[in-house]
Amino acid sequence: MHTNQWLALETSTDTLSLAVARGTQTWTHTSAGGALTSTHMIPQSLALLKEAGLALTDLQAVVFGRGPGAFTGLRTACSVAQGLAFGADLPVLPIDTLLAVTEEARAANALTGAAPVTRVLAVMDARMEQVYVAAYEFTPNATDASSEANPLQGMWCCVQQPELHRPESMHWPADWSQDSFIAAGNAWPVYAGRWPVALTAPQLMALPTAAALLRLAPAAWAAGQAVPPEEALPLYIRDKVAQTTDERMQIKAQHAAGL
């Protein structure tokens, strides 16, 4: 089996993010997503593989951001991952998009030279006046052979499962002090002034990226999270994906009234 050779697909937001890993080298593509995702994802993925000198059959698995996120984007990423994996007889490796946000925030923070991030509250705009929230904690590996195979040199653990909240009602682990974590995501300007007063932790803008999925893939693989293509499924937190006009007007009226 080819090791550390992956194709990663991330389309849970309005951005199309793709990445290919071959050993320690990475090739990435980022462009506008949304309606363009379905037409651009496969050609761009194949172009990245060609640039990396890989065929689909050379990969260890096809990785995709499984959600939560935009309904159409998740379905598209999942179906493309399944199709490519079926054709090349590969497994699929689904990874939570909020975990990808967390890893992207860790990497961005590391570039600033600040103290390493070990706790992240991931907060992503879910639209419909709501946000997706999850909390993750990083535990460094002991010095052993397994740590050499993991580029993170440790493991992210989910300590608060992905949930859907209004900005005002979101929460984080009760034992997390404000100076022990950062809050990362894309929702901060969208719901400015609507965050809990108790949230004073630093707020960092971050999106889930395919490059982050690549960094998370070895640990997810080692944890046995790869599945046959037919068993790969998106992660939906919300059952309802749209509001009626009356519902939208009611929400606006509540905001105007300060509710």
Q: What's the average model confidence in pLDDT over 98-123? A: 93
Write out the residue range of the structural domain in which residue 31 sits: 5-96+209-231
| 246 pLDDT above the threshold of 80 | no
- What's the domain count of the chain? 2
Please report whether residue 238 resides in a domain: no
Please report whether residue 248 resides in a domain: no
What is the predicted pLDDT for the residue at 127?
Answer: 94
Residues 6+ apart with CB under 8 A from 186: 13, 124, 125, 205, 206, 207
What is the predicted pLDDT for the residue at 113?
Answer: 82
Residues 200 and 103 in one domain: yes
- Please, is 70 exposed, middle or buried when counting C-beta atoms within 10 Å of its C-beta (0-12, 13-18, 19+)? buried
| 80 pLDDT above the threshold of 80 | yes
What is the predicted pLDDT for the residue at 111?
Answer: 86
| Token pair 């606006």: residue | 252
| 150 pLDDT above the threshold of 90 | no
Rounded CA-CA distance 24/217 in Å is 13
Rounded CA-CA distance 65/212 in Å is 10
Q: What's the average model confidence in pLDDT over 76-93? A: 97
Rounded CA-CA distance 62/77 in Å is 10
| 149 pLDDT above the threshold of 50 | no
Average pLDDT, the chain: 89
Q: What is the CATH number of the domain that holds 106?
A: 3.30.420.40
Residues 85 and 181 in one domain: no
Please report whether residue 105 resides in a domain: yes
| 181 pLDDT above the threshold of 80 | yes
If one compares 34 and 62, the residue with the highest pLDDT of the two is 62
Tens-place pLDDT, residues 194-243: 999 999 999 999 999 999 999 999 999 999 999 999 999 999 998 644 44
Please report whether residue 242 resides in a domain: no
CB of 131 closer than 8 Å to CB of 124: yes
Cis peptide before 196 (omega within 30 of 0): no
Residues 130 and 40 in one domain: no
Please report whether residue 252 resides in a domain: no
If one compares 37 and 243, the residue with the highest pLDDT of the two is 37
